[in-house]
A and B are shown apart, each in its own frame.
Chain A
Amino acid sequence: MRSRRVLITGVGSFLGTEIARRLETDPEIDYLAGMDERPPRARLERMDFIEADIRNPVIAKLIPQAEVDTIVHNKIVRRPGPGMSARSAHDINVIGSLQLLAACEKADTLRAIVVRGSAGVYGSEPAAPQFFTEEMARRYPLRTRFQRDVAEIENYFDTFSRRHPQVVCTMLRYQPSIGPSLDSQITRYLSQPLVPTYLGFDPRLQFVHEADAIDALVAAIKNPVRGPVNVAAPGTIGLTRMVRMAGRPTLPLLPGLFGTVTDAGRRVGMHSISPDFRRLLRYGRGIDITRLVEEVGYTPRHSTVDAVEDYVRTQRGRRLVPVFREAVAR
């Protein structure tokens, strides 16, 4: 595909803006449009900003007018931010995706859809394979609301791509992103003065560095493949190790009390922990990225440990536990 015309939803988010910025400077991209109800975080010269709510049926008129060949769906809410209810997050995720697909039905020029989905669809299971591959998505019951949302979204796009074989639909399943400039559930979790953990659990976690998250998506736009693709940094990190690297004291809680205590912590200004994230903190999750490397052709540059280190480096001076390293052995 030469000279591409691309539209991005959710361009007002950090990653949405960064992806738009990357695509703007790309000579292969002829035309770029960005859609969101809030403006992008930086001034973008070439991008056409379409101010529209993805839940609004009016996008079925706006999107075909843009005559794009590729749509990047980046408007999936992983964690309801402050002032957003779980209900409206669900609406944006599910109804928004439905409206987007309704608009896609009318866009004749469309050839590819790339969705920034979530590896949350695999869930966090103690007895699961330690590295999920793409075909292992429905092995366990869908336990949390977010997990059900993601599964539903995947279903819609799956059905769409079967009914429209001329459109290549790539479902990128992202592990949580981490990095110096990102504000995500995991960075909020690590920035608390006291980090709640499950007593007796130290799960393996896997992230993707923010730079790799952007580049992997750009790579998928350049080389769209059909079906789901896992996106994560190679390797995993233990929760305890990560919290220690960030220099935070932990608050180990009995599993039965975790919900009660963290909900109470909300009232004194600590961040809320979604049910989905809770399961992650208890059982962890790892995914296999062979398909990303071999079929999409993108190899992440940062390992999970590197990504966490990169985040921690920018947090220097905010450590709460003093560094005793090199203290004794000389």
Chain B
Amino acid sequence: MGTEAGSGNGAGAGGQPPPPPRDPRDPRAVRTGAFPGAFPIGPAISFLRRLRAGLDAGRDLPVALAEAGGTLPRDLRVALDRLLHRLAGDYQEDEWGFDEEFADALLPFLEFLYDRWWRVETIGARNVPSHGRALLVANHAGILPWDATMISVGMLREHPLPRYPRFLVLDWAFQLPYVSVAMRKLGGVVASPYNALRLLEQDELVAVFPEGVKGAGKQFKERYRLQRFGRGGFVELALRTGSPIVPVAVVGSEEIYPKLGEAPVMARLLGAPYFPLTPTFPWLGGLGTVPLPSRWRIEFAEPIDTARFGPDAAEDRSFVFELSEQVRETIQNKVYENLVARGSAFF
């Protein structure tokens, strides 16, 4: 269809110096080129010219697009191709609605937050089993689940055999437009023990935040103190499925939204679990949801093997509480250790 000759034209059309050689195995090589910041003007114009020529010659739009597409740089063509495939419904979602391609597309943005905004340091990613079921148990702070996304990015960046963790999200989020879709596409599921059980039985990596709303809504002055770990439901799940528990300590998420107070009337009006008041929210509107650039540390602690206790141990209340408390203490200690290691919160 003349696309071979077209791509030759495209290479010369921009007249730019040749790009620095890139490692072809680097998965980011394709992504960065497709980013709007690097949009090539020259090829775009020749693309539009050829598209118009094709349409004037009486071709169908898809055919004309195909012919004109040859003038574009390869990166852009690949990205555009993926977009068109998605528009035709040609993409994969698993039974939970997790959309890996969508998550990958969002990764450059999350990596920006990880590297530049929060300057996250991840320690002990190797403690996460590289295959099979496992339960990540983390402390929770900051009103939006940024900590969950940073744990994901930390896993993907630092683990030798990375995989996306699935995380349990407060069910309120699933009533919201857009938020609910983004959550499920990124691997979030409704915080229900049935969901967690099914995911673990499917040998997935599941992240839970046992502090729940109490953690997300804690006051700024008690930001480093872990709240009660619910009823220890996550321990029961781990025991029943024989999944190792990996305690995760996140330091830095406590400062992104310093919560000064609450507006219970607003919370009731919106049906939200609580309505936070921070120095910027809701005073600055949407701008108030921009998290502060604190410095973060994420530590994955040694996994706790639960398989040796057997599934019947899940029935033993006192044992469940004991193990839950042990996990809580591990995380609390790691939070304090990492606070010291981090130094200043913002610089």
Q: Which residues of A contact B (CB under 8 A)?
A: 126-131, 133, 136, 198-202, 204, 234-238, 240-247, 255, 283, 286, 288, 321-330
| CA distance in complex: A202, B184 (Å) | 10
Residues of A within 8 A of B70 (CB): 330
| Size bracket of the B interface | 35 or more
CB of A238 within 8 A of CB of B97, answer yes
Q: Which residues of B contact A (CB under 8 A)?
A: 1, 3, 60-63, 65-66, 69-70, 72, 77-78, 80-81, 84-91, 93-97, 99, 171-172, 174-178, 180-181, 184, 189-190, 192, 194-195, 198
A309 shortest CB reach to chain B, Å: 9
A93 shortest CB reach to chain B, Å: 29
Q: Per a CB cutoff under 8 Å, which of A131, A235, A322 touches B62?
A: A322
**Given A323-B62, A325-B88 in contact, is the A127-B95 Cβ separation under 8 Å?**
no
Q: Per a CB cutoff under 8 Å, which of B3, B61, B176 touches A322?
A: B61
- 12 sampled A-B residue pairs with Cβ under 8 A: A127-B172, A129-B192, A130-B192, A130-B195, A131-B194, A202-B180, A204-B95, A236-B97, A245-B90, A255-B177, A322-B62, A324-B84
Q: Give the one of B60, B172, B194 with max A CB within 10 A.
A: B194
CB of A130 within 8 A of CB of B190, answer yes
Identify the closest chain B residue to A255 (Cβ).
Answer: B177
Further 13 A-B residue pairs, CB within 8 A, beyond A283-B174, A324-B61: A128-B192, A200-B177, A201-B177, A202-B180, A202-B181, A204-B95, A236-B96, A237-B93, A288-B198, A325-B85, A325-B88, A326-B81, A330-B66
A327 shortest CB reach to chain B, Å: 4
Q: Per a CB cutoff under 8 Å, which of B66, B192, B194 touches A327?
A: B66
| CA distance in complex: A255, B177 (Å) | 9
| CA distance in complex: A326, B62 (Å) | 9
Residues of B within 8 A of A130 (CB): 96, 189-190, 192, 194-195, 198
Q: Give the one of A238, A240, A245, A324 with max B CB within 10 A.
A: A324
Identify the closest chain A residue to B172 (Cβ).
Answer: A127
**Given A127-B175, A241-B89, A244-B89 in contact, is the A327-B65 Cβ separation under 8 Å?**
yes
Tell me whether chain B's interface is mostly helix, strand or loop, or mixed.
helix
Residues of A within 8 A of B99 (CB): 238
| CA distance in complex: A204, B184 (Å) | 9
CB of A325 within 8 A of CB of B69, answer no
CB of A324 within 8 A of CB of B91, answer no
CB of B69 within 8 A of CB of A330, answer yes
Residues of B within 8 A of A329 (CB): 69, 77-78, 80-81
Residues of A within 8 A of B177 (CB): 198-201, 255
Residues of B within 8 A of A283 (CB): 174
Residues of B within 8 A of A240 (CB): 89
| CA distance in complex: A126, B169 (Å) | 12
Q: Per a CB cutoff under 8 Å, which of A198, A241, A246, A330 touches B1?
A: A330
CB of B91 within 8 A of CB of A236, answer no
B284 shortest CB reach to chain A, Å: 23
| CA distance in complex: A240, B93 (Å) | 11
Identify the closest chain A residue to B86 (Cβ).
Answer: A244
CB of B66 within 8 A of CB of A245, answer no
B9 shortest CB reach to chain A, Å: 14
| CA distance in complex: A245, B90 (Å) | 7
| CA distance in complex: A50, B230 (Å) | 60
| CA distance in complex: A201, B174 (Å) | 9
Residues of B within 8 A of A127 (CB): 171-172, 174-175, 190, 192
